[in-house]
Structure 1
Amino acid sequence: MAETMRAARFHADTKTNVVEDVPIPEPGPGEVLVKIAYCGICHSDLSLLDGIFPALVPVVTQGHESSGTIAKLGPGVEGWEIGDRVILAAGRPDMKCRSCRRGDIVNCLNIQLMAFAYDGAWAEYSVAQAVGLTKIPDNVSMEQAALLADAVSTPFGAVVRTGEVAVGEAVGVWGVGGIGTHIVQLARVVGASPILAFDINPAVRERALELGADYAFDSRDENLVQKVAEALGGRLLDVAFDSVGLKVTSEQALRCLDFGGRLIVVGMSGEEVSAGPSAALAFTRKQVIGHLGYKNADIETLAELVSRGRLDLSRSVSEIVPLEDVAKGIEKLRNQEGNPIRILVQP
């Protein structure tokens, strides 16, 4: 094995991403070295470049949605073998907080996020904790497996855990790009009905209908609340998901909720959102809940769903770009060129 590798590194002082040569990392106790096959480009990667997310370290390798094969085992690693196909979890427990000290590492209070607090996977190799790996079923492609580390697992966490969507509940999804598309699909898997998609792009709305939405509306429609009520027989939504995170999308979604409805904010921006007068919020008993991430066990659940044909991700990989062209992939996502669900980087 060579001593160096290519990696796309974020430099906090210039807010730029540079593909450069760096030493291949050595796995420590309980860690493995993974040869990366694919890694997604996520909007949170753009948020770091744009300064919406504060830099946690001066320089870091970006990319947190990855799949690959184990290339080297660190000391003390058992149950894994070199050559195993794996998905890397996008976070590490700090092992110091109150939850971790009690053995509840799943609910770590200071979770360290891959590609923000430590090096990610826009690189030829990446180090991962063995306890955070998920084995990829033989009939699941490495491309689709990479998506499970965030692009699909975060929507899964939003739908199943935070949103607690029940069979027959009416669900609305604002913004049906990378995250929203998978919220639509997963809401259908758990039995939500009907599912309404909201987007300003007609091509994206049409795609949402093809992938499981029952209705698709232009979110700029001035009569949107009325049209939602008409689609739902006079009532409004039980659960709304904002996968954009803008003031306009969150506040519009809140208006489309029925009494006791839940707004789950998944998308992130620097904009401030108002829930309106406290009296109205109390009277209508609406809830506004933020959502972030997933549990590592969710990745295995999703891999099983894909393996058994219960979840179709065949349209989720919009394009693959080589590592050296990661800047082109970033700009394509930023400009929504081709309405991508997910663009993957291949080292």
Structure 2
Amino acid sequence: MAEMLAGRLHLTERALRLETVPVPEPAPGQVRIKVAAAGVCLSDVHLIDGTLTPLYLPGDVVTLGHEVAGVVDALGDGAEGWQPGQRVLLQAGERDRRGTVFTRGVDYDGGWAEYAVASQETVVPIPDELPFEQACIIPDAVSTPWAAVTDTGRTRPGEAVAVWGVGGLGAHAVQLLRLVGAAPLIAVEPLAAARDRALSLGADAALDPGDSAFRDAVLGLTGGRGLDVAFDFAGVTAVREQALTVLGRRGRLVLAGIANKPVTIPSDSPFNYLQQAVLGHYGSEAEHVEQLVSLARQRRLDLSASVSDVLPLAEADQAVRRVQSKQGNPIRLILRP
């Protein structure tokens, strides 16, 4: 039986182990891909440290990795329309007939491995000119902020926006908000290097949330009207509290980061009078990934700056430590089998 290397999370011990396991065979309706690149997400770190726990995993061991790209290797019975060698990425998860979302690398085996299997409905073709290292991060790292910007936040051209947290998701949010024409586009980030990065990615201004003149700066940049949309990609209570102080009339606060804390509105009077809203956001839909692949194909979206480093799969534990410690302030680290 053919074997492969895989990064496996043992939940009872919260231990990541690089193990040799059998190469999976595609079931009917599935496609097996030879993995070329897989992203390392903060969610992977949180699965290892116990902050997150799979809801639907049938067992206590799973191969991590929900951001995956590679080439078609084999087809299960009934899988049609795919050719061996075809370049593809995998959606980060799928829904069953009842609408339950199962996440790759969380509820079933993911792509921190030499091979991965996927339902053919979750396989998306990618153009030859899109590198695997960039393609693999489109599901989640790029599609989550894209869905937050376009669907949940319903951001329109000319609206004043701010992004709190310019990490793996927020950095892409800056690019995507510029793409849809938001202006002014403000990045809010305590780290000076991340503020500089936000400016290089298209932010009109980058502010330190700890600056005593923060609120005056936002009002100055927005002509006194405040923000139309505020995006929390940090998942920090203090971010929500600060964002609510600079929302304008009909302003929307989009919670893309998860704090596992109560969301408090200090006073309902101004909140109601200004007709403001707090909107929850999670993940993306299949259509968002397909839209982003199309934008990359048309050269409207450049993700080259998002690949902070590429490491061999055998060094997955090192990649996890670097993401956890924010060493080098990465947007995305990529594993290559």
Q: TM-score, normalised by structure 1?
A: 0.93
Q: Distance in 2 between matches of 1:153 and 1:317?
A: 16
Q: Which residue of 2 aligns with 1:16?
A: 15
Instruction: Quote the residue 1:209 is aligned against.
Output: 199
Cα distance in 1, alignment partners of residues 244 and 16 from structure 2 = 37
Query: In 2, Cα distance between the equivalents of 1:29 and 1:255?
Result: 54
Q: Please state if 1:79 is matched with 2:81.
A: yes
Which residue in the other structure is 1:256 paired with?
246
1:321-345 deviation digits (Å, cap 9, x = unpaired)? 1111111111111111111010011
Bigger Cα displacement from structure 2, 44-53 vs 228-237: 44-53
1:118 alignment partner in structure 2: 108
Corresponding residue SS for 1:149:
helix
- Post-superposition shift, 1:288? 0.9
Q: Distance in 1 between matches of 2:311 and 2:264?
A: 39
How much does 1:271 deviate?
3.3
The whole-number CA distance in structure 1 between the counterparts of 2:287 and 2:104 is 17
Identity %: 43
Alignment of 1:237-252 (within 5 A): 237-252=227-242
Output one character per residue of 1:31-64: Cα deviation in whole Å (capped at 9) or x when no partner: 1011111111111111212222123331111111
Partner in structure 2 of residue 101 of structure 1: none
Letter in 2 for 1:40: G
Pick which of 326-335 and 297-306 moved more: 297-306
Contact 1:236 1:257 in 2 (8 A): yes
1:227 CA displacement: 1.1
TM-fit CA distance, 1:92: 1.5
Instruction: Spell out the pairing of 1:98-177 with structure 2 (5 A cutoff).
Output: 108=99, 110-177=100-167
Q: In structure 2, what is the equivalent of residue 54 of structure 1?
A: 53
Paired residues of 2:32 and 2:75 also in contact (CA < 8 A): yes
Local SS of the residue matching 1:328: helix
Q: In the aligned structure 1, how far is the partner of 2:26 from the partner of 2:221? A: 54
Q: Which residue of 1 aligns with 2:39?
A: 40
Shift of 1:239: 0.3
Secondary structure at 1:151 match in 2:
helix
- Aligned partners of 1:27 and 1:20: how far apart in 2? 20
- When the two chains are superposed, the root-mean-square deviation of aligned CA atoms in Å is 1.2
* TM-score normalized with structure 2 length: 0.96
How many Å apart are 1:237 and its aligned residue?
A: 0.5
Q: Tell me if 1:63 matches 2:53.
A: no
Counterpart Cα distance in 2 of 1:47 and 1:254: 27
* Structure 2 letter corresponding to 1:84: Q
Aligned counterpart, 2:26? 27
